[in-house]
Amino acid sequence: NTTHWSAQLEHLRKTRRAIALDLRGHGLSQPPKDGDYRLVSQAGDIDAVVNKAGIKKFVLVGHSMGGSVAIAYAGLHPDRVAGLLIVDSGGDPKQFPEEQKQQIVKAMESDAYTDVTESYWKQLLVGSDHRIAERIMKDMKSMPKEMVVSQVKELFWFDPVPALSRYHGPKLSVITPVNDTEYSLHKLQPDFPHVVVTGTGHWLHMDKPEEFNRILDEFLSGVEVSK
């Protein structure tokens, strides 16, 4: 939810216009009545927000699933994205065995949902500050099962390559060491720079806000966009 970006918003708003949004079903945003959690639909939500705010061109930052939504948006509206910064998002899901994906989804749809999801979230929080970990676990547990299962399905079968191939502006992937593999996002294109932040969990912008903000500032310094 938007509070996860508090340190970045406070930092950026000293010199720039910065907006954070709760994607559908997250934070203060209502779940969609039709149950539509498709990444492309959530990219449409980004478009609705920037249009309402009168923003023509902007830098787009997304974490984890939000990074996939940001990539989908950049592929749909490449001329509006001045820069794309992705934070510890997934890579190429095609490399993940289909049978395994189906097994995980089946387990999540069953009565084992709580055990499966909490075990996964705890893995993502290894290395996190304990206060951040407690906060994230509380936030994650508040999310409805329908939304979580739908989002996992979307991410398991989302191919970021077509969208990335349509976007030719500045981009950067900021990841943890766990996410630095041969199938990682930055390995999908030869011109996709990346930075590794160590000693943190998956929510690295919360665990190490000062380091992340320095990376963000450096990226923004090379991007031309109206404030």
How confident is the model over 7-26, as pLDDT tens digits?
999 999 999 999 999 999 99
Residue 88: C-alpha distances to residues 26, 144, 149 (Å): 19, 23, 20
The pLDDT tens digits for 100-125 are 999 999 999 999 999 999 999 999 99
How far apart, in Å, do the first and last CA atoms of the chain sit? 24
Crossing angle of the two packed helices 65-76 and 39-53, in degrees rounded to 10: 70
pLDDT band at 225 (very low <50, low <70, confident <90, very high): low
Rounded CA-CA distance 212/42 in Å is 25
pLDDT band at 227 (very low <50, low <70, confident <90, very high): very low
Looking up tokens 């930055």 gives: 186
The pLDDT tens digits for 43-55 are 999 999 999 999 9
Rounded CA-CA distance 137/125 in Å is 9
Q: What share of the chain is helix, strand, coil (3-state, %, to 5)?
A: 55, 10, 35
b vs e for 138-177, b when ≥16 Cβ sit within 10 Å of the residue's Cβ?
ebbeebeeebbbbbbbbbbebebeebbeebebbbbbbbbe
Q: In terms of pTM, does the model score above 0.75? A: yes
